[in-house]
């Protein structure tokens, strides 16, 4: 079997499990969700699929619960000169902080940083 094919299968299985984990978490089955989440990352690792940071952030690093605001996580945004996103896992209490500069996006928007006079920050309190 080709290695790339295994990787592709791992990716597919990973996202399948991610989907299930989120569904379980929404149904309030946090224990199961964390179990499935753990499986998902195991599958990805085994198959050599590197999970994107964006997706990794949707899971608790410690207990692998899918972090859904209001269900399994609490999200606070602190602003001390720069915005910081504070995510607390309600299952195990693990706290993570992210700089909230660019939401979701990785680096790589080269085109629009200059020449645009309007900024989108702090539009409302």
Size of the site for Zn ion (CB under 5 A): 8
Task: Give backbone dihedrals phi and psi of 66, rounded to 5 degrees, phi first.
Answer: -65, 130
Residue 120 CB, shortest distance to Zn ion, in Å, is 32
Torsion-angle region of residue 104: left (phi > 0), alpha (psi -120 to 50) or beta?
left
- Among the listed ranges 18-26, 35-43, 86-94, 117-125, the one in contact with Zn ion (CB under 5 A) is 86-94
Q: Which of 5, 75, 77, 92 binds Zn ion (CB under 5 A)?
A: 92
Please tell me the distance from the alpha carbon of residue 93 to that of residue 74, in angstroms, as a whole number: 10
Residue 119 CB, shortest distance to Zn ion, in Å, is 35
> And the tokens for 104?
């979701």
Any residues with CB less than 8 A from the CB of 11 and at least 6 apart, and which?
44, 47, 49
Q: Which of residues 49-78 bind Zn ion (CB under 5 A)?
A: 60, 62-63, 65
Residue 86 CB, shortest distance to Zn ion, in Å, is 14
Residue 89 CB, shortest distance to Zn ion, in Å, is 3
The smaller minimum CB distance to Zn ion, of residues 17 and 47, is found at 17
* Contact status, residue 62 vs residue 22, Cβ threshold 8 Å: no
Where do contacts with Zn ion occur on this chain (CB under 5 A)?
60, 62-63, 65, 89, 91-92, 94
């Amino acid at each position: 079997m080709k290695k790339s094919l295994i990787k592709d299968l791992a990716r597919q299985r990973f996202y399948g499990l991610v989907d299930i984990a989120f569904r379980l978490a929404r149904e309030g089955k946090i224990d199961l969700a964390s179990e499935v989440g753990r499986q998902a990352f195991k599958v990805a690792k085994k198959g050599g699929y590197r999970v994107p940071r964006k997706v990794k952030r949707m899971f608790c690093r410690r207990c692998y619960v899918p972090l859904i605001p209001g269900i399994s996580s609490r999200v606070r945004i602190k602003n001390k000169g720069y915005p910081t996103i504070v995510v607390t896992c309600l299952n195990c209490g693990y706290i993570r902080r992210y700089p909230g500069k660019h939401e979701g996006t990785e680096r790589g928007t080269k085109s629009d940083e200059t020449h645009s006079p309007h900024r989108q920050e702090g539009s409302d309190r």
